[in-house]
Amino acid sequence: MRKNFISSILISCSFVTAAQQKTGQASGGQVNVYVTAQNTDLRFSSTATLRLTDKPQPIETETAIFVDPSKTFQTMVGIGGALTDAAAETFYKLPASKQKELLTAYYDRDKGIGYTFARTNIQSCDFSSDTYSYVGDNDAELKTFDISHDKKYRIPFIKEAQKAAGGNLNLFVSPWSPPAWMKSNNDVLHGGKLKPEFRQSWASFYVKFIKTYEKEGIPIWGLSVQNEPMATQKWESCIYTAEEERDFVKNFLGPTLRKEGLGSKKLIIWDHNRDLLYQRASIVLEDADAAQFVWGIGFHWYETWTGGGMQFESTKRVSEAFPGKNLVFTEGCIEKFDFERLNDWALGERYGLSMINDFNSGTVAWTDWNILLDEKGGPNHVGNFCFAPIHANTRDGSLHYTNEYYYIGHFSKYIKPGARRIISSASRDKLLTTAYLNPDGKIVVVVMNATDASVPYSLWIKGKAAATTSLPHSIATLIID
């Protein structure tokens, strides 16, 4: 899988007129096709250069993808993954050559997949080797606040990622739990709630963290209120009802950020699964005093733990009801790690399914969970081992690329921050698709085929079309000049 990655290249940018940028009309009508497919060596491989030619009304028996660049929707903020303690610790167990390879793979715009977005944890999370806090017991004034723990691995790792991304890496931060003494159960694990008397101390804690990290040279783009606020986990967790989150944002966190000069930081509520997304968004955002502080609504994909499928309709309903707020996919990974499944093609297809539907539902940014884990799916201090796009075998210093990496890359490598989503509609359900108009005027269309059959189709744009074929279990990015 690895061998074609370094050799893959992006299409060089062409200059377009202001009118072309406005209408999305490409200058030459040339379509460059890049493909990743199961049971092949194709990984971001250039497989065809097509030409759009005149084609009026398609017939009903044809399969077509209809693209309309004149209809524009949300603007892409970025795509990336989480820079956790686990990822950082694993990174520093690798030889220097493999560290460089990993950074190139994720953050290089030409040789890699061009990540521009990131997340990290405030205090410990399940993907830490242990539990820890930045303050001493009962220090409500936060006088003992100290991030020395993070300086060993995580802060240097984040700086390496920022450097590899050319300084263009928007980082948001999320807490899994307040310190134990601030909580109703006196435990950072197993749920519990923030005690009312510590709401101001906890709001000030976010400020301390952001300002301290920024003094270390790590700009913070935004923050979420609480990771998974309705889940009582065996790891770090804290429960908020919708009303409790609303009131904490309205009366404590929002005003504190503003008072401390951090009002421009992007504040994200919910940060949990799609299934309760609308309920949380409506309770918080229908309160004007709370909504003024909220930039976006974050969501995860783990609603499937109840036995159902991914609830993309929930995302659409929130986008329709609250068009002035931003939807962000803040976390997703495939659980129950098994080293023998590293080559399982279904891993990547779950990413493709989610990303296409999330973007088509109005999502402006998409964040994978850990960018790197070890051969056990950790480290993780509670045994919650999971998959990542790239795994390190710390026993021999090797890196293993799952096809998650390639599926994510078919979006992050080609769709740039600032791109506007446009219409892309498939005439058959065998193909999934989304499309964007990049800032340079190029149109990017992603097409996924999760079936066992090849699917011939035409890419049709305003009376012009190019014929091509979607390979079985493949994802393709088509770039139109």
Catalytic positions, please?
A: 228, 331
Query: How far, in Å, are 184, 227, 237, 420, 439 from residue 232 at the CA level?
Result: 13, 11, 6, 38, 43
Q: Are 400 and 393 in contact, with CB atoms under 8 Å apart? A: yes
The CA distance from 159 to 153, in Å, is 10
**Sheet holding 455-461: strands in order across?**
45-51, 30-37, 474-480, 443-449, 431-437, 420-426, 64-75, 455-461, 464-470, 53-54
The CA distance from 474 to 222, in Å, is 34
Residues in the chain: 481
The CA distance from 132 to 449, in Å, is 44
Helix (H, G, I), strand (E, B) or coil at 273: strand
**Phi and psi torsions of 228, nearest 5°:** 45, 65
How far from the centroid of its chain's Cα atoms is residue 251's Cα?
29
Across-strand partners of 120?
173
* Residue 356 amino acid letter: I
**Token pair in block for residue 30:** 């040339």
**Phi and psi torsions of 349, nearest 5°:** -65, -30
Q: Are 86 and 373 in contact, with CB atoms under 8 Å apart? A: yes
**Token pair in block for residue 93:** 């167990």
* Residue 73 amino acid letter: F
The CA distance from 433 to 294, in Å, is 30
Q: Are 475 and 353 in contact, with CB atoms under 8 Å apart? A: no
**Token pair in block for residue 440:** 């340079």
Other C-beta atoms lying within 10 Å of the C-beta of residue 396: 8
The CA distance from 22 to 420, in Å, is 11
**Phi and psi torsions of 370, nearest 5°:** -50, 130
Radius of gyration over every alpha carbon of the chain, rounded to an integer in angstroms: 22
